[in-house]
A and B are shown apart, each in its own frame.
Chain A
Amino acid sequence: MEKMQGLPYPWPAHWSVSHRGFQKDCYIWRPVTQYKVKPRSEDTEIVRSTVWSAGPGCHGTCGVLAHIRKGKLVKIEGDPDHPWSQGRLCARCLAMTQYAYHPDRLTRPLKRKGKRGEGKWEEISWDEAYDLIEERMGRIREEYGPESMIFSMGTGRDISSWLCMLAYAYGSPNVMFAMSGNACYSPRIAAVETVLGDYCVPDAAQWLEKRYDDPKYRVPECVVIWGYNIPNTCPDNIFGHWFIDLMKRGTEIICMDPRLTWFSSRAKHWLRLRPGTDGALAMGFLHTIIHEDLYDHAFVEKWTNAPFLIRTDTGKLLRESDIREGSSRENYVVWDARDEKPVVWDSAKADYESGKVTAALDGKFSLNLTNNTHIECGTVWDAFCEEVKKYPLEKVEEITWVPGEEIQAAARFFAKSKPASIHWGLPIDSTPGITPTAQAITALWCITGNFEVPGGNVVARNAFECVSYALPGAEGVIKLASKEEDLKRISVDKYGPFRKFIWRAQTDTVLDQIFSEKPYPIKGIWMQTGNLIAGIGFEPKKWREALKKLDFVVAVDLFMTPTTQFADVVLPAATFLEKDSVRSWWVPLQSINKAMSVEDCKPDVEINFELAKRFDPKLKWKSVEGLFDDILNNSGIKFKELQEKQWALPPEGNPSAPYHRHEKGLLRKDGQPGFTTPSGRMELYSSLREEWGLEPLPHYEEPPFTAISRPDLAEKYPLILSTGRRSFAFFNAEHRMIPWLRELDPDPTVEIHPETASSLRISDGEWVWVENWLGKQKFKAKVTIAVLPQMVMVAHGWWFPEEEGAEPSLFGAWKSNVNQLIPMGSQGKDGLGSPLKNLLCRVYKL
């Protein structure tokens, strides 16, 4: 058995990428299958593809080999030649044979008979369905305008692109990610882009052909796993088990998690914090790192806006237009310590006005404004350190429940490890204070010199900058016909991040508008890839009323769910094996290849394309393939070519491949070194947040429903209600009907600590009520040391496909649905975040 580089013991050869044959100078992988595949039988064809959804449900990227016999899937296995997953495949994907041919799978378009929720349907043909939708949606557009139609998604996956295509062809800017506060991933992306211009991910060599064996790569000494239980799910284009690969190669883990998980048991430092206090912990880390001088001075001086001057009279950034008549408001001012005078920083050029400047990082300086008033200025660095000083270890210990020495030890270890990276998860989004929390964590990887280095946190852009699904900050070929149409987008006037980065209608605002009808009424909804009632909608009874109120509801799904019961038309969608599609998020660029078809199910892209053509006869693309080719334009590869080559990695020098792009001028459009922020520097003090009237510096905000912020509620509901933990068997609200998966995790559980359970006289396996001010639901107690004694962790996404689908049962959606206990409308001041992991409840026997 071959020894893998750096490992002390030999492991299966097919885990090593380095011995594979590939063309060295070409970043297009040639599918050399050195690993023999054993087909099930003589007449079985093997089709290579890559995963997205539907099927496993996830955000995919894994390479698969589908064994197809006579047009039917007989076996699926991982593709060992794929650099991303190297032949590995999770439980959800391995259950594809049960998913694709499930007897409950929707196979024909359905039209509602009877009332909404009665569960009575008649099968119609695709043409009839299209005609009906065209007519009804056309009528809404005529009478009320296209903006009164909402296009709603859950975890959009590749289908978000086609949803946007349909919405924009119809003329509506209102694409909605149906979660309160949009509190899944987008807030983090928007927050990092607010201060850095681009989103960052931990570098696990995913941009390199040879992966960890590439000489450019450095295995991180330390990875901070901030609120992630990766083995259960591979979120957001990160293959969870890469971190296990790295741990085998020596990486140590710092884990922030209130629960005992695989990572927290094996972490060098496990910070077991109170749910919702991640912001305070991040500030605590910054406190230690700055006070013990463990930060990278060079990065702070050269690449952040630390030297920029802040007026002490207004507390805002000093602009060039303040001190010089008729100049730009977009430029900032620093104090040259050597020449003892103010120097202007030209944001457009991302450089100082004049030559070499020794910018002062601290001190107070006197200046005259244009009207000859005398003012004093401090620096951003001073203001930043002032803010950080408010979080000494004793205070952070009090807030987070983590002992001060542990925070200090972990912060020192992180700061001294070179390289180190931070990988973060949903707990960061699960608080209305998400943006200042994310700002603090972004500052951590920047000031410790781990930005854009091998093994650190690197900028993530769509491969080759081909954008199909426009994540926050990205703009692709699928867009509205004009900027004017975007002005009607719901909430675009209310929230800064939604104007600047997130091209969505803010969810809580949409729900309110459905009922208030102000500023304009909402008349219809198109739902695709989401389950509002059982999955993504909080206070689902409100969503049920909303759906019942609308004139026209279309649902596209693979199974009947509690949500599709309220539709007027239900369209059967295809799994990832039944469609062609493109993926560029983040890397590699790859194609999803159609391997088979099931009954009358259609891929989402085809459904949406047909209707997009009908709503916009002048649609830009003539065929689905033409659409794919347009998306792939920046890479110079056509779709058919990509299907043959399977995947492509952007070469070094491409703006979508690391490292050191801020130094090489690869991040900015003008090619200047720097960032795509308003100032061109990493903004420790955010100019955008200042513009939006929000606190510009990172800080901690106590979530709205905790024992500290709401002691009145905590008296009645003393336990912390947390939810959203991942199950290895399911993807959110999916897969409850797949037998092999359901048997792994058969019941909706509430994890209770043994001490708490015994004080409540609850035994393991007993069904209990979990109740708060919004209602109560039944869950099965799992007595475990995995949770803190003061908290319970409730499994989410539960409904029961084996039960009656029509109302009032609605597949058991009102029995064990934790969403009933989570409030809508608790988003942050910037429209982002939701406190779903730090609410309050009480638990008692049935």
Chain B
Amino acid sequence: MNGNRVSGGEALMVFSLVRSSDRRSEFFTPRSGMKNMNRKKPEFGLLIDYEYCTGCHACELACAQEYTHKVGIRGIKVFEVEQTRPDGSEYLTYFPFPTETCLLCPHLTREGFEPACVKHCMAACMKYGRIEDLAKEIGVKPRMVLWVPR
């Protein structure tokens, strides 16, 4: 750009930047759809055995401490799900869910450490790794989920 005048092509670029610039940050993952399926594919995920998640919320605090998140912001949230089965029996599931804020701790993982939540999980029910590696382990037992947050 020179001065205040902008060429046509540049205008298009600036326009698209301006549209999403207010949301552009490291925490932003663009929406996926047919048009951008060839973009960089996710590589890493979190394998969680929610049979053993005890709802201790250590993962939430570990994430909050790691990033010094403000109150109300978390990279992972644990949900409590009370269930009644058709035979009347009851079950309590605790369900960790990596949020939009989850970065999968790249500053730790590129040096060979685990993400903060995985490290501190009291029930040792979380694993971090490449999606294809984790995919081999899912289905070893029921009540597992493989999250790919970004």
A-side interface residues toward B, CB under 8 Å? 8-12, 15, 36, 38, 75-78, 87-91, 94-95, 97, 231-232, 240-241, 244-245, 247-248, 260-262, 264-266, 728-729, 739-741, 743-744, 784-786
Contacts and interface: CB of A to CB of B under 8 A. Distances in A.
Contact of B91 (A89, A248, A265, A728): A265
A240 B82 CA distance: 22
A828 B113 CA distance: 53
Interface in B52-78: 52, 54-58, 60-62, 64-66, 68, 71-72
A91 B141 contact: no
Contacts of B140: 8-9
A94 B122 contact: no
Contacts of B121: 88
A784 B137 contact: no
Contacts of A264: 92
Interface of B: 51-52, 54-58, 60-62, 64-66, 68, 71-72, 82, 84, 90-94, 108, 111-114, 116, 118-124, 127, 137, 140-141
20 contacts: A9-B137, A12-B114, A12-B118, A36-B113, A75-B65, A97-B68, A231-B55, A231-B123, A248-B52, A260-B90, A262-B55, A262-B92, A265-B92, A265-B93, A740-B65, A743-B71, A744-B57, A744-B60, A784-B82, A786-B92
A6 to B, nearest CB: 14
B92 A232 contact: no
A264 B101 CA distance: 33
A284 B71 CA distance: 49
A94 B92 contact: no
Contact of B54 (A94, A241, A740, A784): A241
A89 B123 CA distance: 10
A743 B111 CA distance: 32
B113 A38 contact: yes
Contacts of B52: 244, 247-248
Given A11-B127, A12-B118, A89-B120, A785 B84 contact: yes
Contacts of B58: 88-91, 94
B122 A740 contact: no
A36 B114 CA distance: 11
A77 B59 CA distance: 12
Contacts of B112: 36
B71 A740 contact: yes
Given A94-B120, A232-B56, A784-B82, 17 more contacts: A11-B127, A15-B124, A36-B113, A38-B108, A77-B62, A77-B116, A90-B56, A90-B58, A91-B61, A241-B122, A241-B123, A244-B123, A248-B52, A262-B92, A265-B93, A266-B51, A785-B90
Contacts of A244: 52, 54, 122-124
B137 to A, nearest CB: 7
Contacts of A36: 112-113
Given A38-B111, A785-B82, A743 B55 contact: no
A221 B58 CA distance: 28
Contacts of B118: 12
Contacts of B51: 266
Contact of A231 (B60, B72, B111, B122): B122
User: For B56, B82, B90, B118, which residue has the most chain A Cβ atoms within 10 angstroms?
Assistant: B56
Given A38-B111, A244-B54, A262-B55, A740 B141 contact: no
A38 B113 CA distance: 8
A765 B76 CA distance: 24
A645 B115 CA distance: 29
A260 B92 contact: yes
B119 A78 contact: yes
A812 B94 CA distance: 32
A742 B84 CA distance: 29
A16 to B, nearest CB: 10
A277 B29 CA distance: 54
A404 B54 CA distance: 30
| 8 closest Cβ pairs, A-B complex | A231-B54, A94-B61, A91-B61, A265-B91, A739-B71, A91-B57, A265-B92, A241-B122
